[in-house]
Amino acid sequence: MPRVFVYGTLRAGEVNDLNAAAQRHGIAAPTLLGTATVAGRLYDFGSYPGLVLDDNAGPVAGDVYDVADALLPVLDEIEEVYPGQATLFVREERDVWHGGHAVTCLLYPVSDAAVAALPRIDGGDWVAYRRARDTAAA
């Protein structure tokens, strides 16, 4: 069973909620293992964030799930990751920190070049940032 780290719109309650995606496709619900962090920088693309992995940067917050194999193609579709095509997001494996231990997870980062002109999300938490941004705009 693959383990994934989600940091943006795939988090619970967000627009691409991982649990809702599984339910829509008749796939077993993912198992939440808890919160985790990965070293990186988070950027605001407007309706979603992008993570640039960076061992010298602060923590980016997210959640770790065990998911059914059948859910991976659904996640790839949400993130628009297609084999043999250059895309904004890529799927890669990385250690994240969960419960004081390194846990290997799949995640969907972007390249440094993709965020050149975008605002950085200080604090590294998309959900907290989005809520504050949307409240300020209302």
Task: Kindly provide the b/e burial profile for residues 33-69, where b requires at least 16 CB atoms within 10 angstroms of the residue's own CB.
Answer: beebbbbbbbbbeeebbbbbbeeebebbbbbbbebbe
CA dihedral sign of residues 131, 96, 5, 111: positive
Q: Which among 26, 6, 28 has a CA at the least distance from the CA of 75? A: 6
The yes-or-no answer on residue 79 being catalytic is: yes
Give the C-alpha separation, 19 to 17, whole Å.
5
**Max Cα separation, the chain?**
41
Q: State in Å, rounded, how far the first CA of the chain is from the last one.
A: 41
Query: One of 14, 77, 79, 80 is an active-site residue; which one?
Result: 79
Task: Tell me the catalytic residues.
Answer: 79
